């Protein structure tokens, strides 16, 4: 008796699906947003702040911070700046490909 190979409805892998679904520009945008959110989360953890404490320091409501960290919202630039400032961070515009990667 021969066993049938299960075929995923979206292809062999997420990467293959993502390559077909998103344009290079969309993938780049998602990568930048993910890196920015990761930086905010890491900075919050490094400073030992809770989301509630970051709310008090930034003026951004805790539920907004939670949604940002979960990736369920697309925050405005002003919101990001408000969050970065008490974390000792800022935004910078740099040439593409010149960003510093963490090890």
Alpha carbon dihedral 74, 64, 103, 13, in 10-degree steps, equals: -50
Transcribe 55-97 into DSSP letters: HHHH---HHHHHHHHHT-----HHHHHHHHGGGT-------TT
So where are the chain's domains?
22-87
pLDDT, tens digit only, all 103 positions of the chain: 555 555 555 556 777 777 778 888 888 888 889 999 999 999 999 999 999 999 999 999 999 999 999 999 988 999 999 999 999 999 998 887 766 555 4
Separation between Cα atoms, residue 60 and residue 82, nearest integer Å: 7
pLDDT at 72: 92
What pLDDT score does 14 carry? 72
Entry pTM: 0.73
What's the pLDDT at 101? 57
pLDDT of residue 8: 58
What was the pLDDT predicted at 41? 96
Give domain 22-87's CATH number out of 1.10.260.40, 3.30.1490.190, 3.30.9.10, 3.40.30.10: 1.10.260.40
């Amino acid at each position: 008796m021969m066993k049938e190979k299960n075929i995923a409805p979206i292809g062999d892998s997420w990467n293959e699906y993502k390559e077909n679904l998103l344009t290079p520009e969309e993938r780049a945008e998602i990568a930048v947003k993910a890196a920015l959110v990761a930086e905010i989360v890491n900075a919050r953890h490094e400073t030992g702040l809770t989301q509630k404490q970051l709310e008090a320091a930034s003026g951004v409501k805790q539920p907004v911070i939670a949604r940002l960290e979960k990736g369920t919202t697309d925050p405005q630039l002003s919101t990001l700046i408000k969050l970065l400032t008490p974390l000792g961070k800022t935004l910078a515009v740099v040439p593409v490909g010149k960003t510093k990667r963490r090890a």
